[in-house]
Structure 1
Amino acid sequence: MAATMTNKMMAKMSLRGRRGKVAFVKTQLYKIVCDTVFNSFDTTTTKLDEYISKYLKYAPERMGGGGRKK
């Protein structure tokens, strides 16, 4: 995901789109990531969603993410 989106873009997203953010689940990139991961690794949708959710959650804190709003 880091190769396809900037931290600034990921900071405006969440997995389900709560609190006014864009829902990553509804994007084409989510479908592509799922297909790729399921073809390469033995995992479940729940585990993948958990990983993606955490990755998006901490995007504001990474360089170029814009920081957390207070």
Structure 2
Amino acid sequence: MNVSLMAKFNLSRQSRPYVAPKIGIKQTAVYSVLKACVSQSISHTEKDLEDVVSKILKYAPDRKGGVGRRLEKPSP
């Protein structure tokens, strides 16, 4: 998944005011496949996987190719 696409996702689909809503990856088939692949290769808890995935997605906008962190306030 490239950085600009990762910037459109977060783990739980929660949104903040003045920020475009994101897609919750936890409700997608991609997360199910990722969870199955990781559980076959290493032992972990689901919380460990959630922590890692959320951290990767959290900082995606700041990476090269991301959209950057912009707060767009609506005009009055």
**Same fold? TM cut 0.5:** yes
Q: Which residue of 2 is the match for residue 62 of structure 1?
A: 63
Gaps of 5+ in 1: none
Q: Distance in 2 between matches of 1:13 and 1:7?
A: 10
Length-normalised TM-score, structure 2: 0.83
Aligned length, in residue pairs: 66
Q: Tell me how far 1:69 sits from its aligned partner.
A: 1.2
Gaps of 5+ in 2: 16-20, 72-76
The correspondence of residues 23-62 of structure 1 with structure 2, limited to 5 A, is 23-62=24-63
Q: Percent identity?
A: 36
* CA radius of gyration, larger in: 2
Q: Tell me how far 1:21 sits from its aligned partner.
A: 0.8
**Which protein is richer in helix relative to its size?**
1
- Moved beyond 2 Å, runs of 4+: none
Q: Distance in 1 between matches of 2:2 and 2:12?
A: 19
